[in-house]
A and B are shown apart, each in its own frame.
Chain A
């Protein structure tokens, strides 16, 4: 699980072009959207594509994203439970 969390942080930084942010700057429980890491709606769509492309998980209901993408912990939990 710890490896997955680190991998997610690296992918988020690279795929979402988070310049000046390093893996160590993202806490496992940090809020990813809004006041947290400051991700926006386009980033949310990129994360949905990332789930599909890298983990084979298709998010059929975008509303699910709100709870899945809350933090690195919630993402890692969802991926480990649903990964194909």
Chain B
């Protein structure tokens, strides 16, 4: 049984920047709101996926982080099973509020189906899975803060039990204009050992 796993690559989305393995790959100081930042970040990565624009901000942030990681990660073979384990603090509250606003007025009651479908935090995992045809284990947890110990343990179990060859994991939190994503790929080979301490260190970068 494999006991040691490694962080193969990691991505941060925060402070108007996209960072891959610590290096800034995109920065936008012009757009101060999250929606415009995510749009310019998407365009900077030359991704062609029109469904991106229909997503809520949490799914867009999750999707972007996954795109950056998966584009820059080589797994052992093309058929590697990639599990997804995400967590955050605000769940889907940002979109829940928008949906609630659309149904507050009984005389002007038009609930939007396109907003409603994003009133669960794990929808972002679904968007990534559809995009990359992943039919793997996935889970979304809600914590007060990024819980590196829980993530490390859960991700190791998935890998040790051979449920997955790799795990795309991390923290993706969006609430209003506040956003913070730290997403990484764990597998049998990588740049840094998959330990709680290393996860905390990278998260704080």
Contact = CB atoms under 8 A, between A and B. Distances in A.
Interface stretch (A43-51, A66-74, A76-84): A43-51
A19 B113 contact: no
A16 B113 contact: no
Contacts of A42: 54, 113-114, 117
A10 to B, nearest CB: 16
A19 B53 contact: yes
B110 interface: yes
A47 B50 CA distance: 18
Contacts of B54: 16-17, 42
A15 B50 CA distance: 14
A46 B113 contact: yes
The secondary-structure label for the interface of chain A is helix
Nearest to A37: B50
B53 A49 contact: no
Contacts of A45: 113-114
Q: How many A residues touch the partner, as a band?
A: 10 to 19
A38 B50 contact: yes
B113 A17 contact: no
Interface string B32-69: 00000001000000000010111000000000000000
Contacts of A49: 110-113
A19 B110 contact: no
A23 B110 CA distance: 25
9 contacts: A17-B53, A19-B50, A38-B50, A43-B114, A46-B114, A49-B110, A49-B111, A49-B113, A53-B110
Interface of B: 39, 50, 52-54, 110-114, 117
Interface of A: 15-20, 38, 42-43, 45-46, 49, 52-53
